[in-house]
Structure 1
Amino acid sequence: MHGISRKSATPVDDKKSVLTAAVLRSLQSQLLYNHHNNIYTKEALDSNAELVKKNPDFMTAWNYRKLAFQYNLDTVNADLNHIIDEELKVVEEVLNINPKSYGAWYHRKWVLSKGNTSTKHELELLNLLLSQKEGARNFHAWNYRRFIAGFKNISDEKELQFTTDMINHDFSNYSAWHNRSVLLSRLLKKKVKGYFPKEKFLSEEFDFVRSAVFTDPNDQCGWFYHLWLLDQTIKVHTNVNMMPLLTSLIWMTEMIDKEIYHYRTLLSPVVTKSEKDERSRGLFLSKTNALWLAEADNMINLAAIKKEEEAKCKIAMLTLARLLMAYDAMISTNTPAILKKVLKLYSQLMKLDPPHYQYYKDEHSLVLLKQITSSNESLLKYCSEHKDSGSLWLRLNSLSLSRIGCFERLLWVQNLDLSHNQLHSIEGLEALHLLTCLNLSHNKLGSFTVLDPLRLLKSLRLLDISYNEIGAHIVDTRRYLCLSPLSHTLVYDKDFEDFATDDAKVVNFWEAYSIFRGLKIMQLDIMGNIAVDERFMLFLVKLLPGLQWLDGKKLN
């Protein structure tokens, strides 16, 4: 974790662990004895203190200290401040050993809530912990600082300045960035002077976070904060008077325009004429919509030369792809040049970042479909007549798609060919209510569960799901998205039980039953899947009385 590799235990370490375990067992036995017998003497508390130092995550030990605290306060009539100071001292010793102990931090909050109003020492302790390299990102300490700030009514502006100092000291501080977003959310919500209207302040925040990502483009802290900032720009408020809304929309588009420019600057090693032409086309299209880009003439300029290695910054490329798609959605033009650029970015990311290949592949597929469906002209290129029936088919086969989308542009489709792709899901396909013929062969569909959208396609008559991976995976993690027939909430439990009475083994096909039972399929191709055998074929014939063709063979 955090770049520290785990080392194999040596014989000396093993011997030390055995001795530590023996001591722990002895201390735990003593704790349980004292706990069960309500013994809260000084000796018992000292023994407990040794236990929480060695095992600070043993919550029973901390709960025992709470009981002892209350007992000594109510019975012994001890001084409250003295008891609190002693407890805080024990917790501080534990935190010096393990500064990320949940139990220790929770117990410290509980102790302070009992009446100690002095928090000067608490802030000194936090400053000490957060000033250390290992503790600067300790989210427990940051959470406790928020607790102390609220407890003592420390202003959000003062705390915001503290996060600024911490970030300036080290840009790679996730907790400081997160705390900054928490504080700013409150300041913006309260419309505190200097933070409202938010346009000017958020513009300054973009400049602040940009200095972080440009200093170290491969560090993700600033990028996450940048995404949060973008989210704030689109939270506009509706009003009867539309002028404030329109002003916010124009400003929002302007900000995204600026961000595209800055991250293209970060990524672009050279400025080419084609890119200049692309940008001019984008500005021309933007100018046709005065609502969005009244002041965007000089907002997006091409970049100066950057270091070659920065052109391979993965998170910068991902952010740029998202920004370009947001920009394209705002100007509502489906600009081919923008979509082409985004497809190129996702293709590069698939090569640069193999562990997240599937995510980039899915996003690439969605952008490709948006490009295909961007206009009637481009969509017609993928339409053709069936050679036998003469019906019009939309053929999106052999495009290496792993995910499908843009269904709002495909509601008219009756015949769809998605074969020879890499689909592992057909989520959203249920929107195509007119669909009568569907080819999903030669994909990567792993179970009947992923076919759940088919249940709503009541017009479906021809279905080809041959040569997929149905039944190939021993554990299907998606099956829990489909209700089991054993669930008492299913309305078709009794029907399925009646259906399976003559063959006890048929109960293994309940997923297929839930998918196909309401369909009126006349032609089905299902060969090439591991789950398919002769018994399953007989099951389908019984389940689908209107079935006339099965795997290319006419049924009697």
Structure 2
Amino acid sequence: MHGQKKTDKSEAVKEKERKQKEAKLKEYRDGMAQIATRREAKLLDWDTMGVISDVLRVNPDVYTLWNLRKEIILLLLSDDSNNEEPVKLGENELRLTESCLKINPKSYGAWHHRKWILENCPGLDLKIELALCTKYLKLDSRNFHCWDYRRFVVSMLDLSPEEELSYTLVKIEEDFSNYSSWHYRSKLLPLIHGDPTGQKPIEEEIHLQELDLVQNAAFTDPNDSSAWYYLRWLVGELQPKLDVILAFVSREDKKLFVGFNRNASLDRVRIECSAASRWRTVESFEDGSLWFADLNDVSMDELVVNVSLQSHEKSISLTEKEGFFWQASPQFDPTISEKMKAVLEEQLDSCNQLLDLEPDTKWPLLTSVVFMKAIDSYAYRDDIMKRLESLKKCDRYRINYYNDLMNKYLIEARLLNSPADGSSSLANLNLESLHHSQYLSPAVDIDLSHNRLGKSLPKIVHAVSCKHLNLDSNCLKSLKNLPRLSKLESISLADNEFDSLDDLLSDLDGFTSLSRLFFRSWCEVVLVSHVAFAFAM
């Protein structure tokens, strides 16, 4: 390990280790049995505490023992006949946890017990605890248990955030890859240098200093994730969040549909229409991107829909003359200011410089994709796709994640250029996942051919207006997950991988409006080629 040649242990050493393990195991089992007996007999006293201490020193990760110990301590503290002072009792407990942490420095039970002692045994010296944290973090600067405990002690001591901020800088300068230090820094900076305008997490001058700091770290070790996560926080907090925006409103027969650019709940938006009742999502979830309600009066030739959003209110008038339909231009990214754009372009340039030196480095590749998407996803589309392809090669464990991002960006580009003619095409994109499917809702003709959408068939539930659906060449083996679309009249399924025609027809059972099926596939007995099947109504 780490370049050290492994040496085989002698038989004598192996035998000695085996006997030691057996002795510890026997000690542990005997102790647990004795504790169980004493607990059953309700002997919650100092002798039981001693047995628990012995077992915890063998295995400090038994939560039950720590909890039993807390129970006994509370009894002792409430007992007037007990001469043990809370401070002395607490100091004994802290010594026990310290000996347990020598066995396992990341023992959840030991750290939680230590914290509990400080809360329940007042008078303990908290400065000693802070010094202990400093000592432990010198041994292992990435021990997040110790970082959490340190923040707890600091809060009890009521130390100034400035002191802790200086400490985080010391730890970062010792090791740029100390993720906990970067994270702690992101919590402290807004407390000390908060932006008075409230538009940024920290004031501009300090923000620029932090960008210099994190860029130095990133250039020192481009493969380390810690600095890149912090950079994403610094820049990401400056970007405006994407608001929930009204995407379209339409009437279909006896239902009124309201679509948004992303998932929304009725806690965040309010939809009002005098002719509609009981709003719900098409997927029956508490939040969703497509909401609908039944219409009380379907003879109306005009519908007025009022939608109250966090950012604004919108009143839409649907008329029969316009086909009871209103749609806004799709919006997938928040609008950024020129100043923010300049910051992002500067950071993108830094990423590009680093990639010129090391072109196959994961974090600058991924971060540059995020920056390009925020600046102008349409203008940078080709560059984004090339870098996602590079990421799939240099980070094979996350190929599915990068494929999903590519699917999402391809769909967004196609939707932004969709014609307003009642059709929607996401064909020939080699998609595996279906994002923004709520934008399929108004379309009558939907072409999803030449993709691989087998696992995403449930998302087609949003296609509430669809009459003609093309699923050719999608590597489909079954249609069991295809939602029942009430208006669907025809579906094309050429060049898929169905096992048999009977199974296919069984999957389509229940599509009461379906009248035509176009199908071509090798079956066990026959080859059916572009035949139109008429279903009995």
Shift of 1:56: 1.7
Q: 1:37 to 1:531 in 2, by over 3 A?
A: farther
Structure 1 contact 522–547 (Cα < 8 Å) conserved: yes
Q: 1:510 to 1:537 in 2, by over 3 A?
A: closer
Structure 1 contact 199–251 (Cα < 8 Å) conserved: no
Using structure 1 for the length normalisation, give the TM-score. 0.68
Please give the per-residue CA displacement for 1:244-290, whole angstroms capped at 9, x wherever unaligned: xxxx944423322221222222122xxxxxxxxxxxxxxxxxxxxxx
Are 2:129 and 1:87 equivalent residues in the alignment? no
Picking from 406, 409, 415, the partner of 1:407 is 415
Aligned ranges for residues 6-405 of structure 1 at < 5 Å? Answer: 12=15, 17-75=21-79, 76-114=82-120, 115-132=122-139, 135-189=140-194, 198-234=203-239, 249-268=337-356, 306=357, 310-328=358-376, 334-335=378-379, 338-367=380-409, 373=413
CA distance in 2, matches of 1:55, 1:263: 47
Q: 1:79 to 1:362 in 2, by over 3 A?
A: closer
Tell me the amino acid that sits aligned with residue 125 of structure 2.
Answer: S
Shift of 1:517: 4.8
Q: 1:4 to 1:529 in 2, by over 3 A?
A: farther
Please give the per-residue CA displacement for 1:142-199, whole angstroms capped at 9, x wherever unaligned: 000000010010111110100000000111111111111111233345969xx99711
Structure 1 contact 438–462 (Cα < 8 Å) conserved: yes
Partner-residue secondary structure (3-state), 1:554: strand
CA distance in 2, matches of 1:180, 1:3: 34
Identity over aligned pairs, percent:
27
Match of 1:554 in 2: 532
Q: 1:455 to 1:2 in 2, by over 3 A?
A: farther
Please give the per-residue CA displacement for 1:403-434, whole angstroms capped at 9, x wherever unaligned: xxx53442625445545543222232331334
Q: 1:174 to 1:38 in 2, by over 3 A?
A: same
Q: 1:7 to 1:436 in 2, by over 3 A?
A: farther
Please give the per-residue CA displacement for 1:107-166, whole angstroms capped at 9, x wherever unaligned: 11111112134212101211111001xx21000000000000100101111101000000
CA distance in 1, matches of 2:156, 2:354: 43
Shift of 1:99: 1.1
Q: 1:541 to 1:191 in 2, by over 3 A?
A: closer
CA distance in 1, matches of 2:450, 2:18: 53
Shift of 1:41: 3.8
Tell me the amino acid that sits aligned with residue 447 of structure 2.
Answer: N
RMSD (Å), alpha carbons:
3.5
Gaps of at least 5 residues in structure 1 are 237-247, 269-305, 374-405, 473-508
Structure 1 contact 100–138 (Cα < 8 Å) conserved: yes
Please give the per-residue CA displacement for 1:460-519, whole angstroms capped at 9, x wherever unaligned: 2222324434458xxxxxxxxxxxxxxxxxxxxxxxxxxxxxxxxxxxx8744xx12523
Tell me the amino acid that sits aligned with residue 353 of structure 2.
Answer: T
Of 413-422 and 41-50, the range deviating more from structure 2: 413-422
Match of 1:519 in 2: 487
Structure 1 contact 413–432 (Cα < 8 Å) conserved: no
Q: 1:456 to 1:325 in 2, by over 3 A?
A: closer
CA distance in 2, matches of 1:137, 1:92: 18
CA distance in 1, matches of 2:374, 2:485: 41
Shift of 1:22: 3.0
Partner-residue secondary structure (3-state), 1:113: helix
Picking from 455, 459, 462, the partner of 1:456 is 462
CA distance in 2, matches of 1:516, 1:437: 16
Structure 1 contact 464–524 (Cα < 8 Å) conserved: yes
Shift of 1:533: 4.3
Greater strand percent: which structure? Answer: 2
Q: 1:63 to 1:411 in 2, by over 3 A?
A: farther
Please give the per-residue CA displacement for 1:372-391, whole angstroms capped at 9, x wherever unaligned: x5xxxxxxxxxxxxxxxxxx
Aligned ranges for residues 430-441 of structure 1 at < 5 Å? Answer: 430-441=438-449
CA distance in 1, matches of 2:427, 2:201: 54
CA distance in 1, matches of 2:189, 2:494: 56
Q: 1:175 to 1:422 in 2, by over 3 A?
A: same
Of 100-109 and 354-363, the range deviating more from structure 2: 354-363
Partner-residue secondary structure (3-state), 2:56: helix
Q: 1:149 to 1:37 in 2, by over 3 A?
A: same
Structure 1 contact 412–432 (Cα < 8 Å) conserved: no
Structure 2 contact 31–55 (Cα < 8 Å) conserved: yes
Q: 1:316 to 1:8 in 2, by over 3 A?
A: farther
Structure 1 contact 467–528 (Cα < 8 Å) conserved: yes
Partner-residue secondary structure (3-state), 1:553: strand
Shift of 1:349: 2.1
Greater helix percent: which structure? Answer: 1
Structure 2 contact 179–226 (Cα < 8 Å) conserved: yes
CA distance in 1, matches of 2:461, 2:34: 62
Tell me the amino acid that sits aligned with residue 223 of structure 1.
Answer: W
Using structure 2 for the length normalisation, give the TM-score. 0.70
CA distance in 1, matches of 2:427, 2:381: 24
Tell me the amino acid that sits aligned with residue 36 of structure 2.
Answer: L
Shift of 1:345: 2.1
Tell me the amino acid that sits aligned with residue 319 of structure 1.
Answer: T
Match of 2:502 in 1: 534
CA distance in 2, matches of 1:367, 1:123: 48
Structure 2 contact 407–432 (Cα < 8 Å) conserved: no
Are 2:431 and 1:423 equivalent residues in the alignment? yes
Structure 1 contact 428–453 (Cα < 8 Å) conserved: no
CA distance in 2, matches of 1:222, 1:2: 24
Shift of 1:356: 2.1
Match of 1:284 in 2: none
Q: 1:188 to 1:5 in 2, by over 3 A?
A: farther
Q: 1:148 to 1:416 in 2, by over 3 A?
A: same
CA distance in 2, matches of 1:8, 1:364: 49
Shift of 1:541: 5.3
